Structure 1
Amino acid sequence: MTGKLKPTLGTIHLWGIAVGLVISGEYFGWSYGWGVAGTLGFLVTTLIVAAMYTCFIFSFTELTTAIPHAGGPFAYSRRAFGETGGLIAGLATLIEFVFAPPAIAMAIGAYLNVQYPELNPKYAAVGAYLIFMGLNILGVKLAAMFELCVTVLAVIELLVFMGVVAPDFSMTNFMLNGWAGSEHFSAGTVSSIFAAIPFAIWFFLAIEGAAMAAEEAKDPKRTIPRAYISGILTLVVLALGVMMFAGGAGDWQKLSGINDPLPQAMKMVVGDNSGWLHMLVWIGLFGLIASFHGIILGYSRQFFALARAGYLPKSLSNLSRFDTPHRAIIAGGVIGIIAIFSDGIINLQGMSLTAAMITMAVFGAIVMYMMSMLSLFRLRRLEPGMSRSYKAPFYPIVPAIALVLSVVSFIAMIWFNFTIALIFAAMMFVGYLYFRATQQQRDEAVQDLMLVGE
């Protein structure tokens, strides 16, 4: 059957989804940025990106509360710019949420491989997909409660990590060769700061996915702003803390470009056999699981919303007897598993699979951020009377900062990742061809006033 999703989620569930979607970014992925820009260069990148995300979330929340729709950015852009605008935002969001999970799944495999060296990380990654697709199919309330529990554990573990390595923290270690492998700032450092943007974005990528649970939120006009604002503040503090303490624990160059930087950083302090290390590996898995599980929820709702509106095959909007979009959950999982087994077969710009998937997901995210901020400006002009229980502070300055930094990030992404940019563009073009060929499918879809206005 198809239809509406049921509102069952409160503020704490939404906070758990918002933070949980992202928190794996504190456990892995960001250290690739050290290999590009060094610790100091990457710190500059991270501060710029943190400013972009903070401005973005304080602005994006206006859209989420005014239009609480499972399609999230797709719904806002379609209402602001019509069907083509909805297509651009919807496809970009789908690419972001479908390509982030394979990177996280591979990191789950890498963390398990620390404890079980004989375990193939790819098989562990596939096992993670099967388990958490199943959990998502069993119901959103169960999925959200699980997400909240693992997110709280993951946050506690990051605080424990910082506490354990703090006594051995050395600013000298952090600053050594901190400008792209050099002691001194140079013209090349500026280039490296921009080149590291995808890995700084990974610290915060997917927080906007909580918008896709808005249709399942109780009293979204009140619960969503609380969840989003507390969520972004939580993540900024954790991102800066983890990066600083890991970089000061020892030789940071040994941590760049690996999927398990926190266990390896802790090894420098407590050795190979410490109970703290084993605890970090096991509880650290919760951080990866929280994001992995949450992003499955996110991509399934995006598939569902696009299919319900006629942008994708209608069957993807079917709901299971648990009122969950089971076919959408499975569709994203199949794509992710194919991506996992392409590791070592497909080589993109000399990147590892993890780095390539992160970069592809970031392309989708940045396009979606630009479309969302443009939608905010356009809807303020076209629909000034729209009910807005929450408004972006210091409008238009805050959303303008988010938009400008998103555009700068997008240009830098294309410049430094041209091959992946071409693949991203090709995916968007294929989606556009499908869109042009399926007008009748959209005409026959049930009209949704949230997408077109009253």
Structure 2
Amino acid sequence: MSGTSLKPTLNAWHLWGLAVGLVISGEYFGWSFGWASAGTLGFLITSLMVAAMYTTFIFSFTELTTAIPHAGGPFAYAERALGPTGGFIAGFATLVEFVFAPPAIALAIGAYLNVQFPGVDPKLMAVGAYLVFMTLNIVGVKTAATFELFVTVLAIFELLVFMGVVAPGFSWENFTAKGWAGSDEFSGVAVAGMFAAIPFAIWFFLAIEGVAMAAEEAHDPHRTIPRAYIGGILTLLVLAIGVMVFAGGAGDWTTLSNINDPLPQAMKMIVGENSGWLHMLVWIGLFGLVASFHGIILGYSRQIFALARAGYLPKALSRVHPTFHTPWLGVIAGGVVGILAIFSDELIKLGGQTLTANIVTMSVLGAIVMYIMSMVSLFVLRKKEPALLRPFPALGYPVVPAIALVLAVVCLVTMVWFNPLVSGLFLGLMGVAYGYFRLTAGRRAALAAPAAVAAAAAEVVPEPSAG
């Protein structure tokens, strides 16, 4: 086993568990911040629009993941289609998405645990979660993926239990009351609120694309990855709409916006504070947060590994553990950044939003930039490499990928408009990263030269011998 190569051990079930598990924390928290600006009805429309973007994106993205199964995922597609600068933009955006999502989830884990242990600082519990799941990711990818599948199934079960428990008290009148940005009337304010809520609708589905980063560790990725993606997006669509509607109809939904634990608080409205159902939700509900937290650590570590292997990050970060065959330094590096984000209140609390809301927005900005780069890469590769083997071509090409691209651009423009300070921080980080990218151009050229020579040698067909 090479010091910079990964071991293929994952089957379709592992990958489906990863696809759903990466995202499923978005059903437990984060999305309810969208109610604060859009209301329940406005946010429902925003969520359906975002769901359309993700569905068209996934049915297009699978073309890239199966044609180019690479741990770098979007970075590899963009570099191949658009060159090193395109690879840098996609790689930076993906890294921001996957490095900034875990601290938001860790804070939610701390908030859930704080319900049971009020005397313990939620931030310290968030750091404890990092230490536990960084260790698990270093121990081995198959162990990590099997654990991911287990907690994902439990998390799905718990969301179904939540819907079942609150269903008897569900009221459509509760859900629709002041449902247009805090008003009973549809207006221009409601429309503005719907656009402002886009990042929190994206949180319902954010990081499903991370399965692509396990492509080098998948058995038969041409078959297993499309199955994982299609099964994953369908599972998440049902869960996202169900959880949002049932929570909104449980009581006064305005008390559930801008908090990290909307599901336990919604259940309290139906069963009271001392119900066994509530305690079960808090404890088993942690599995949903853990599934995403654990899976995204796997995702960011593979992205760091791939970028370092290609010379975009320091070479040391591409080292694979000699025993566990995992990118252990990548796991640690992303964890350090995440833990610093948890304690960087004054830096991250911008624009009057909560720390969690701004971390979510930063992560979503990275995701949207990456989606745009991926769809542009798909169109470019269709022209540039028409003979490329595409085991799972984009459905409805070019219409379906075009819909995904247009919706992603709309999301990016509105997010920048409504979040200028976080967007400025995102661009500032990109500027610093681009400076490093330019300074290390020589190292990437040195890494690319042997690969180019090997590729050219492989294309040489020897003349048949005269004898």
- TM interval, shorter chain, is over 0.9
Offset from partner CA, 1:418-440 (integer Å, 9 cap, x none): 01111101111111110100012
Q: CA deviation at 1:399?
A: 0.4
Aligned twin of 1:368: 370
Aligned twin of 2:261: 260
Matched, 1:161 2:162: yes
Tell me which of 436, 439, 453 is aligned to 1:437.
439
Matched, 1:403 2:405: yes
Q: CA deviation at 1:416?
A: 0.1
SS of 1:23's equivalent in the other structure is helix
Within 5 Å, give how 1:10-25 maps onto structure 2: 10-25=11-26
8 A contact 1:153–1:283 mirrored in 2: yes
Aligned twin of 1:281: 282
8 A contact 1:71–1:306 mirrored in 2: yes
Aligned twin of 1:132: 133
Aligned twin of 2:299: 298
Offset from partner CA, 1:107-143 (integer Å, 9 cap, x none): 0000000011111100000000000000000000000
Offset from partner CA, 1:210-242 (integer Å, 9 cap, x none): 100011000000000000001001001100000
SS of 2:86's equivalent in the other structure is helix
Counterpart residue identity of residue 387, structure 2: G
Q: CA deviation at 1:344?
A: 5.4
Matched, 1:328 2:360: no
Aligned twin of 2:465: none
Q: CA deviation at 1:353?
A: 1.0
Matched, 1:391 2:410: no
Aligned twin of 1:51: 52
Aligned twin of 1:170: 171
Matched, 1:208 2:209: yes
Q: CA deviation at 1:347?
A: 2.7
Tell me which of 427, 430, 433 is aligned to 1:428.
430
Offset from partner CA, 1:158-197 (integer Å, 9 cap, x none): 0000011011111000000000000010011111100000
Offset from partner CA, 1:333-355 (integer Å, 9 cap, x none): 00011111113565310111100
Aligned twin of 1:244: 245
Q: Structure 2 regions of 5+ residues with no counterpart?
A: 460-467
Cα distance in 1, alignment partners of residues 215 and 308 from structure 2? 17
TM-score (norm 1): 0.98
Cα distance in 2, alignment partners of residues 313 and 196 from structure 1? 37
SS of 2:295's equivalent in the other structure is helix
Offset from partner CA, 1:40-98 (integer Å, 9 cap, x none): 00001000000000000000011000000000000000000011100000000000000
Cα distance in 1, alignment partners of residues 400 and 242 from structure 2? 25
Counterpart residue identity of residue 281, structure 1: V
Aligned twin of 1:75: 76
Cα distance in 1, alignment partners of residues 443 and 237 from structure 2? 42
Matched, 1:413 2:415: yes
Count of residues paired in the alignment: 452
Cα distance in 2, alignment partners of residues 100 and 21 from structure 1? 10
Cα distance in 1, alignment partners of residues 386 and 7 from structure 2? 29
Going from structure 1 to structure 2, the CA distance change for 1:162 and 1:144 (only over 3 Å counts) comes to: same
8 A contact 1:18–1:231 mirrored in 2: yes
Q: CA deviation at 1:443?
A: 2.0
Counterpart residue identity of residue 364, structure 2: V
Counterpart residue identity of residue 439, structure 1: A
Counterpart residue identity of residue 378, structure 2: L
8 A contact 2:108–2:289 mirrored in 1: yes
Counterpart residue identity of residue 309, structure 2: R
Query: Aligned-pair RMSD on alpha carbons?
Result: 1.3
Cα distance in 2, alignment partners of residues 151 and 346 from structure 1? 30
SS of 2:8's equivalent in the other structure is coil
Aligned twin of 1:197: 198
SS of 1:97's equivalent in the other structure is helix
8 A contact 2:312–2:440 mirrored in 1: yes
Offset from partner CA, 1:254-276 (integer Å, 9 cap, x none): 10010000000000000001111
8 A contact 2:348–2:359 mirrored in 1: no
Going from structure 1 to structure 2, the CA distance change for 1:433 and 1:249 (only over 3 Å counts) comes to: same
Whose Rg is larger? 2
8 A contact 1:78–1:84 mirrored in 2: yes
Going from structure 1 to structure 2, the CA distance change for 1:448 and 1:358 (only over 3 Å counts) comes to: farther
Question: Percent identity at matched positions?
Answer: 71
Cα distance in 2, alignment partners of residues 273 and 189 from structure 1? 37
Cα distance in 2, alignment partners of residues 378 and 55 from structure 1? 18
Cα distance in 1, alignment partners of residues 23 and 111 from structure 2? 18
Cα distance in 2, alignment partners of residues 175 and 19 from structure 1? 29
Counterpart residue identity of residue 260, structure 2: N
Matched, 1:340 2:342: yes
Cα distance in 1, alignment partners of residues 348 and 65 from structure 2? 37
Cα distance in 2, alignment partners of residues 267 and 44 from structure 1? 26
Going from structure 1 to structure 2, the CA distance change for 1:345 and 1:416 (only over 3 Å counts) comes to: closer
SS of 1:444's equivalent in the other structure is helix
Q: CA deviation at 1:448?
A: 5.8
Aligned twin of 1:60: 61
SS of 1:304's equivalent in the other structure is helix
Structure 1 outlier segments of 4+, above 6 Å: none
Cα distance in 2, alignment partners of residues 251 and 192 from structure 1? 19
8 A contact 1:310–1:444 mirrored in 2: no
